[in-house]
Amino acid sequence: MSVLIAYATHSGATRTLAEQIAETLADLGRDPHVVDVLEDPDPTGHEAAVIGSAVRAESYETPFVRWTRRRAEALGQRPVALFSCSGSASDPAKQGRQKATDAFLAEALFEPVAVRNLAGWVLMDRIPLHERLLLRSMRTPEGDFRDLPAVAAWAREIAPLLRG
Ligand SMILES: Cc1cc2nc3c(=O)[nH]c(=O)nc-3n(C[C@H](O)[C@H](O)[C@H](O)COP(=O)(O)O)c2cc1C
């Protein structure tokens, strides 16, 4: 079963989460195709999709939002699992919530079969200087907060839902 794994990233963490999901789905016998939304992947060639965006300033990446709108009809016709990649997802006080995801879902033209807010990284050497200054002024914690075993566990959880 072919599964599109489409992502939008700024500093690279979201791509690594997409790749972990792909690796886990491949282990389960699926046929994952990891593609950046900037390449405008077409979901119609796939039976299901897992789509994910980085979070910046409490929003999903603009190219991601535009791609989902452009491809809304195709996304609405197959099972879609949605994930976000953010700094705050590693904060237990957030209890798995992410404002950017809530805002995206409020406007989405399709209904995902699963949603998960995953932790990324805040690595200053991957961020442009002006954004680095902003993050430092906001005292944003730095580090690699990814939990790849948890990402793999989520991929195993959604695998049965990704059947058309
Ligand atoms: C300018 C900037 C703004 C950010 N704003 C948020 C935010 O509002 N909420 C959050 O949880 N994380 C925020 N982050 C952290 C990112 O979500 C985190 O670095 C994530 O790994 C980004 O994914 P990417 O590496 O695929 O671009 C921000 C990071 C940057 C550089």
Residue 138, pLDDT score: 84
Specify which residues 59 forms β-bridges with.
56
> What is the average per-residue pLDDT within 6-27?
98
Residue 164, pLDDT score: 66
Q: Domain-by-domain residue ranges, the chain?
A: 2-161
Residue 139, pLDDT score: 86
Residue among 64, 47, 161, 45 at smallest CA distance from 103: 64
CA of 146 to the centre of ligand 1 (A): 12
Tell me if 117 CB under 6 Å of ligand 1. no
Yes or no: domain 2-161 corresponds to CATH 3.40.50.720: no
Residue 15, pLDDT score: 98
**What does the pLDDT look like over 35-92, one tens digit per residue?**
999 999 999 999 999 999 999 999 999 999 999 999 999 999 999 999 999 999 988 8
Which of 16, 37, 56 most suits a substitution to test ligand 1, by most atoms within 8 Å of the C-beta? Answer: 56
CA–CA separation, 3 and 148 (whole Å): 20
* Average model confidence (pLDDT) across the chain: 95
Rg (CA), the chain: 15
pTM over 0.85: yes
Q: Report DSSP letters for 129-159, one per residue.
A: HHHHHHHHHTTPPPEE---HHHHHHHHHHHG
